[in-house]
């Protein structure tokens, strides 16, 4: 029996309100089917199936494409947005290309570090 096609999946921190709101905001704009799941819901086995570990997902969002290729941080957000329609798709493609992708390597870690101060953030969003 052939493997059924895998949906792309956006993996985020479900304990972080800012991350949850951001992931849901992106997913509501998707043009094609994809999954959105908190890494806490996946557990070790689910993460392993995606080629990820708990150590990887605790400090950044991940996008695992239908091809199984994982993207981390700003590249994950860019890929998830490129999966959308309209302006979000355009923004995602722009974020994936230089020079904006270079900026993403600086901005994403800052957002991740201070996500507890972002709208919807809370002390549980703090990355250690």
pLDDT tens digits, residue range 51-90? 999 999 988 999 999 999 999 999 999 999 999 999 999 9
CA 60 to chain CA centroid, nearest Å: 7
pLDDT score of 1: 41
Cβ partners under 8 Å of residue 7, min gap 6: 33, 34, 35, 66
Residue 5 binned pLDDT confidence (cut-offs 50, 70, 90): low
What integer pLDDT is reported at residue 82 of this predicted model?
96
Q: Which two tokens stand for residue 112?
A: 């991740």
Share of the chain above pLDDT 70, in %: 89
Q: Six-digit token pair at 121?
A: 């953030």
Strands 62-64 and 9-12: antiparallel
118 or 33: whose pLDDT is higher?
A: 33
| Tokens (6 digits) for 119 | 């709208």
- Residues paired with residue 29 on neighbouring β-strands, in sequence order: none
């Amino acid at each position: 029996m052939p493997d059924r096609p895998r949906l792309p999946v956006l993996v985020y921190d479900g304990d972080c309100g800012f991350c949850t709101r951001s992931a849901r905001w992106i997913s509501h704009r998707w043009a094609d089917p994809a999954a959105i799941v908190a890494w806490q819901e996946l557990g070790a086995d689910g993460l392993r199936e995606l080629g990820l570990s708990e150590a990887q997902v605790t400090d950044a969002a991940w996008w695992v494409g239908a091809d199984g290729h994982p993207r981390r941080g700003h590249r994950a957000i860019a890929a998830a947005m490129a999966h959308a329609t309209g302006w979000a798709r355009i923004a995602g493609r722009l974020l994936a290309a230089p020079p904006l992708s270079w900026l993403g390597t600086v901005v994403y870690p800052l957002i991740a570090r201070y996500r507890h101060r972002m709208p919807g953030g809370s002390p549980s969003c703090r990355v250690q």
